[in-house]
């Protein structure tokens, strides 16, 4: 028991540090010499990396951030730690991405890492929900709405297909985490738009 607890503590710290590696920052800083936090949407994520450094950077950031989520699930399983540890490692790898220690706790939204997590836990449902989500992103050019649709569909399918309580609970936890992060990031824009009764601007901020 003590050995397993020690392993979980080490995994928790490792998950947070892994998530904190600022992929988008590095892939923009290296070729362009600019700080992604001062460019575009200021978000340290794949979409802003794509806008600032091109498709290769956006794709690389997306894949690396997904791998972070994959490792947060696979490493505990490979070490033989109970799946209950995923309720610690997966939120922490997302928290590391959203509040990275290496960038003064100002990071991205965590969607790519969560996609990697769900791809391991419920692969087929993740693939099914990815289609409509990507379609909305491309047609409306709106990542937030596409991601929101993906999370809503995934949670619904988990319930409809009778998945285990662990999968459902973990997915809900991660959905709440990424939603909370997003709302915290835009809170000033939301409050100012409501105060000024600028409803169109409010929708644009909410939609990303």
What is the domain range of residue 114?
2-207
| Structural domain count of the chain | 1
Tokens of 166: 């662990």
pLDDT at 148: 81
Residues 34 and 52: their CA atoms lie apart, in Å, by 9
Spell out the residues 6+ positions from residue 94 whose beta carbon is closer than 8 angstroms to its own. 19, 69, 110, 113, 114, 117, 174, 177, 178
pLDDT at 136: 81
Tokens of 204: 């644009």
pLDDT at 99: 94
Tens-of-pLDDT digits for all 208 residues of the chain?
677 778 888 999 999 999 999 999 999 998 888 889 888 778 888 888 888 888 899 899 999 999 999 999 999 999 888 888 999 999 999 999 999 999 999 888 888 999 999 999 999 999 999 888 888 877 776 677 778 888 889 989 988 888 888 888 998 898 888 888 777 776 666 666 666 666 565 555 555 4
pTM of the model: 0.84
pLDDT at 141: 66
Residues 172 and 155: their CA atoms lie apart, in Å, by 7
Q: Are 69 and 94 in contact (CB under 8 A)?
A: yes
Tokens of 57: 């950077």
Looking up tokens 């920052």 gives 25
């Amino acid at each position: 028991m003590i050995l397993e607890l020690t392993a979980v503590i080490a995994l928790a710290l490792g998950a947070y540090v892994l998530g904190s590696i600022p992929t988008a920052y590095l892939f923009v800083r290296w070729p362009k010499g600019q700080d992604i936090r001062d460019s575009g949407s200021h978000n340290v994520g794949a979409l802003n990396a794509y806008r600032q450094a091109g498709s290769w950077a956006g794709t690389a950031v997306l894949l690396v951030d997904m791998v972070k989520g994959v490792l947060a699930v696979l490493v505990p399983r490979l070490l033989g730690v109970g799946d209950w540890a995923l309720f610690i490692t997966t939120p922490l790898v997302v928290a590391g991405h959203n509040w990275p220690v290496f960038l003064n706790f100002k990071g991205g939204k965590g969607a790519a890492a969560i996609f990697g997590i769900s791809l391991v836990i419920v692969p087929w449902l993740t693939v099914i929900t990815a289609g409509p989500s990507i379609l909305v992103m491309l047609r409306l050019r709106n990542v937030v709405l596409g991601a929101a649709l993906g999370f809503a569909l995934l949670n619904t399918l988990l319930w409809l297909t009778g998945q285990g309580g662990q999968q459902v609970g973990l997915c809900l936890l991660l959905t709440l985490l990424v939603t909370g992060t997003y709302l915290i990031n835009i809170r000033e824009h939301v409050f100012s738009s409501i105060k000024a009764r600028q409803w169109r601007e409010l929708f644009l901020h909410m939609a990303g």
